[in-house]
C-alpha cells in the first residue's frame, strides 16, 4: 500500500530544486516497502517450493533481474508519467497475483487439514 500512495503522490508532485528532503523521504519509504515486499515474496517461495528451494529462489532472482533490465532499457525512452503508469499497472498485476497465490495456498491447506480429520460418530 505504501507503493500505491507513493505513486499517486508522484503523479501529483511538482518537484522543485529545494525539495531534496521530499525526494529522500520518497526513496526511504520506497525502500521500506521494497524490503517488506521482498521478505514476503521469499517466504512465499519457501512455502510454495519446500523441496526445491534452490531452484525456486534462482528463478525468483532471474525474473527480478529481468525486470531491472527491462526497466533500464525502457525507461530512458518514456516520460516519467508513462513510467509511473507502467509501474502502477505492474504493481497491481503483481499484487493480484500474490493475493491469488496466497488464497489458493490457504485453500489447499484448509482442504488438506479437513481430509486428515477423523469423524467419530
Q: Same structural domain for residues 72 and 88?
A: no
Q: Give residue 87's domain range.
A: 80-112
State how far the Cα of 34 lies from the Cα of 119, in Å rounded to an integer: 46
Residue 32 lies in a domain: yes
The pTM is what? 0.79
pLDDT tens digits in sequence order for the chain, 121 residues long: 899 999 999 999 998 889 999 999 999 999 999 999 999 888 888 888 889 989 999 999 999 999 999 989 988 899 989 989 999 999 999 999 999 998 998 888 888 777 655 555 5
Note whether 80 and 15 are within 8 A (CB).
no
Q: Same structural domain for residues 38 and 63?
A: yes
Q: Same structural domain for residues 72 and 85?
A: no
Q: Same structural domain for residues 25 and 73?
A: yes
Amino acid at each position: 500500500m505504501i507503493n500505491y500512495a507513493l505513486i499517486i503522490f508522484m503523479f501529483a508532485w511538482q518537484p522543485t530544486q529545494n525539495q531534496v528532503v521530499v525526494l529522500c523521504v520518497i526513496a526511504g519509504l520506497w525502500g521500506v516497502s521494497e524490503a517488506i515486499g521482498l521478505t514476503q515474496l521469499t517466504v512465499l517461495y519457501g512455502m510454495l517450493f519446500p523441496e526445491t528451494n534452490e531452484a525456486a529462489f534462482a528463478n525468483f532472482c532471474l525474473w527480478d533481474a529481468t525486470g531491472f533490465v527491462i526497466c533500464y532499457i525502457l525507461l530512458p525512452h518514456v516520460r516519467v508519467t508513462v513510467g509511473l503508469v507502467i509501474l502502477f499497472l505492474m504493481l497491481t498485476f503483481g499484487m493480484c497475483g500474490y493475493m491469488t497465490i496466497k488464497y489458493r495456498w490457504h485453500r489447499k491447506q484448509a482442504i488438506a487439514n479437513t481430509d486428515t480429520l477423523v469423524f467419530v460418530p
